Amino acid sequence: MLAYKIVMVGDFGVGKTSLVKRFVDNSFSEEYLSTIGVSISKKNLENSTIMLWDIEGHTEFKPIFKQYLLGAKGFIVVADITRKNTVESIQKHIELCHGVVKDAPICIALNKSDLTSKTSQEEIKNLHSISDSIVNILKTSAKENEAVNEIFGSLDKFIVDSLGR
Amino acid sequence: MQNITKLICAKNKISYIVFDKEFKILDYNNTIENIADDIFSLKIGSDIREVMYELVGIEENLLALLNNTAKESIIHFPMILKMDEYYDLDIETFISSKGEKLFIAYIIQKPKESLSYISMLKEINKKTLLYETQDKQSKEQHFDLINQKLLSFNVDMDGVITLINNAFIFFFDLSSHEIVGKHFSEFFKARDLNLNANSTVIFNAINTKEEVISFHANIIPITKNGISHENIIICQDITYLKQIEKELEFAAGHDSLTGLANRSQLLKKMDETIVQCDKEKRHFTICFIDLDKFKPVNDNYGHHAGDMLLKHIAKVLSDFVRKDDMVARIGGDEFIILFNSLSDNKYIETMQKRLNALPPKHPLIYSQDDIIEFAFSIGLASYPQDAMTSPELLQLADREMYYSKRSTKTKG
C-alpha cells in the first residue's frame, strides 16, 4: 500500500494536534498542550497510509524547523480563524513548504470554525490566490468534528491520484 | 558495525538500527524495542519504514546520502516525541566489514535537563496563547460594550439588509438569518424610507422590552469603481435626547415647585379651550385663587414651610378638580383652576361652596406640633359671557378675587 508523509504546518495554538487527534483517534481535548518537536501518527486509509507529522507551531521566537518538512508529499497549513494573525501567516507557511518541497499540494484548514470569527468570506476567497498548489480550503472544527475528514481526504485523494498517474 | 561502536552506544544509552539501500533491517540493539513504532515488525530483514515512521517519505534523501550527492552527510531530526520521551534521530552511512555502504540510524534520548526546557517552552506557549485569546476577547468585549448602542447594518440599493453587527442582534434579540435578507423597514420606522447617501435620518424601533427607541442614523455609501452599490447605516440611540427634549418642554410649561402648569401653559390651554368652546357652542369658567395671609406663614415658619404649603395646596386643588380641568400656579401664591364645560350658574355656585370648604378640611400638618391652616380668596370669570380672550378672562377673575378678598377683610 502506498505510504507517504504529510506535515501539519501553522502558527502555535491553531489546533494542528487537535486536527490530527480528531482524524486519527476521533478524539478531542479542550486542554491546550503545546507541541514541542514533532509527533508522528499513522493513519490507514482505503488506498494509502499517511504518516502525519504534527510539528511544533511557529512562534515569534522560534521558527519552524525546515528539516521536518523533508520528503513530505503534501502539507496541511492550519490557521485559527478567530486569530487574524494566524490567517495572515498562511502565505509565509506556504512559501516555507514550497522552499523545501517545490509545488507540493497544500490544503488550508481554517480551524476553530465553531467559534465566532472576524475573518471575512472575501479574505478566505483571497487565500486561493496565494498559490496554484492549493488543493482545498475548508473551515474546520476539531472540536465539533467539522470538515476534518474532508480536509485530510481531499489532500489524500489528490496525492494518491497524482502518484498513481 | 564495529564492536567498539556498539559498546559506546550501550554505554550512552543510544539506540541504533542498521539498514541497507533496500531499507531492509540488518542489525539493531535491544533498546530500539522501546521506541519502535511497530514492535511486531522489528526483525532482521523487515522494512525499516514499518518500524520507524520517520523514514517514510525521505527515501530520496537517504539514497542521496548513500550516493554522496546530498548536501549534508547526515539527516537529523531533533525532538521526536515517542511514548512521552523526546529523541533525536541521526541517520548516516558507514562501510560494513564486507565493504557494503549501509545506513545507521542513531536514536538518542534527550537528557532530563532538556525536558525541563521543554516544559518551560510548553508553559510559555500556553501562556502566550491564553494571553492572545484573552486579549482578543477583552478587546471584543470592549468594542461590544462601546457598540452596544451603536447599531450598524449594510443595505443594498433596494434597502435589503446584507450585513449586521452584534449590537443589531442584541437589540432585536434575533439571529442573523432572521434579519439578513429582509427590508430594513421591517425593523425601523421612519418618515422617509428613501435612504439618501451621506444623509441622516431618525429611525424608531421597538426593543425587546416593547419600548420605542429613537435612533439618529447616518447613511454612508460604499462605492466600487465610483458607483454606490451599498450603504452602511450607523444608528446611535438618541432616546435620552428625546427624553431631555420632553423634560425641557415640560419644564417650560410647568412650575418647578408644585409641578402645576405655569402661566404660559395656562394661557395656551385657555386659548385651545376657547377654540374648542366656539366649535362646540359651550362655555368654560376660570377661578382665580389667592392665598390669604401667606406672608405670615413664611415669616413665622420659614420659607421651607411656605413652599410646603404651596405644594400642599397644589395637591389639594389637583385632587379637587375633574380630569379635564386644569390647575395652574401663575404667581407666588396665586393659583388658577380652569373648569372645562362649567358655565351654569347653579353649578358654579356649588363648585364655589365646595372650593371654599377645602381649607378648613385640609390644613398642612407641617410637623407634630405645627399644623398650618390656610384660607384663600377666589374670583371667577366665564367664557364667553364675561370676556372673549384669555388675558381678559384672567384680568377679570383677578379683579373678582380682589373684591372678594376686600369684602372678607371689611367683614373681618
Parse chain B into domains and list their residue ranges: 3-110, 115-146, 150-241, 254-411
In this chain, the answer to whether the domains covering B150-241 and B254-411 adopt an identical fold is no
Q: What is the pLDDT of residue B136?
A: 64
Contact B125 A71 (CB under 8 A): no
> Could you name the CATH architecture of B150-241?
2-Layer Sandwich (3.30)
The per-residue pLDDT of chain A, averaged, comes to 90
Q: H/E/C letters for each residue in chain B?
A: CCHHHHHHHHHCCEEEEEECCCCEEEEECHHHHHCCCCHHHCCCCCEHHHHCHHHCCCHHHHHHHHCCCCCCCCEEEEEEEECCEEEEEEEEEEECCCCCEEEEEEEEECCHHHHHHHHHHHHHHHHHHHHHHHHHHHHHHHHHHHHCCEEEEEEECCCEEEEECHHHHHHHCCCHHHHCCCEHHHCCECCCCCCCCCCEEEEEEECCCCCEEEEEEEEEEEEECCEEEEEEEEEEECHHHHHHHHHHHHHHHECCCCCCECHHHHHHHHHHHHHHHHHHCCCEEEEEEEEECHHHHHHHHCHHHHHHHHHHHHHHHHHHCCCCCEEEECCCCEEEEEECCCCCHHHHHHHHHHHHCHHHHCCEECCCCCEECCEEEEEEEEECCCCCCHHHHHHHHHHHHHHHHHHHHHHC
Average confidence (pLDDT) over A12-23: 94
| 3-state percent breakdown (helix, strand, coil) of chain A, nearest 5 | 35, 30, 35
Q: What is the pLDDT of residue B335?
A: 96
Q: Is A73 on the interface with B (CB under 8 A)?
A: yes
Determine contact, residues A25/A71, Cβ cutoff 8 Å.
no
Fold of the domain built from segment(s) B254-411: Alpha-Beta Plaits (3.30.70)
Contact B54 A32 (CB under 8 A): no
Q: What is the CATH number of the domain that holds A23?
A: 3.40.50.300
Domain count, chain A: 1
Whole-complex ipTM: 0.89
Tell me how far apart the alpha carbons of residues A139 and B221 are, in angstroms, rounded to a whole number. 31
Q: What is the pLDDT of residue A150?
A: 97
Contact A71 B132 (CB under 8 A): no
Contact A70 B86 (CB under 8 A): no
Mutate to test the interface with B, among A7, A16, A38, A81 (most CBs of B within 10 A): A38
By C-alpha distance, the chain B residue nearest A85 is: B132
**pLDDT tens digits for range A61-115:** 667 888 999 999 999 999 999 888 899 999 999 999 999 999 999 999 999 998 8
Q: What is the pLDDT of residue A31?
A: 75
Q: What is the pLDDT of residue B118?
A: 67
Tell me how far apart the alpha carbons of residues B132 and B219 are, in angstroms, rounded to a whole number. 35
Residues of A in contact with B129 (CB under 8 A): 12-13, 32, 34
Residues of B in contact with A74 (CB under 8 A): none
A23 CB-side CA count, 13 A: 31
Distance from CA of A147 to the nearest CA of B (A): 22
Q: Is A163 on the interface with B (CB under 8 A)?
A: no
Q: Is A56 on the interface with B (CB under 8 A)?
A: yes
Distance from CA of B88 to the nearest CA of A (A): 10
Distance from CA of A148 to the nearest CA of B (A): 22
For residue A21, give its domain range. Answer: 2-164
Q: Is A68 on the interface with B (CB under 8 A)?
A: yes
Chain B residues contacting A, CB < 8 Å?
Answer: 37, 49, 53-54, 56-61, 75-81, 86, 118, 121-122, 125-126, 128-130, 132-133, 136
Residue among B53, B61, B133 whose CB faces A40 most closely: B53
What are the mean pLDDT values of chain B's consecutive 10-residue runs (412 residues total)? Answer: 69 85 92 88 94 94 92 89 87 91 90 66 72 66 65 89 87 88 90 74 88 88 80 87 82 90 94 93 93 89 91 94 92 93 80 91 87 92 92 95 83 52
Q: Is A83 on the interface with B (CB under 8 A)?
A: yes
Q: What is the pLDDT of residue B149?
A: 66
Please state at what angle helix B294-301 crosses helix B303-320, rounded to 10 degrees. Answer: 140
Q: What is the pLDDT of residue A161?
A: 93
User: What CATH number matches the domain at B3-110, 3.40.30.10, 3.40.50.620, 3.20.20.60, 3.30.450.20?
Assistant: 3.30.450.20
Alpha helices in A29-109 (DSSP H): 84-88, 90-100
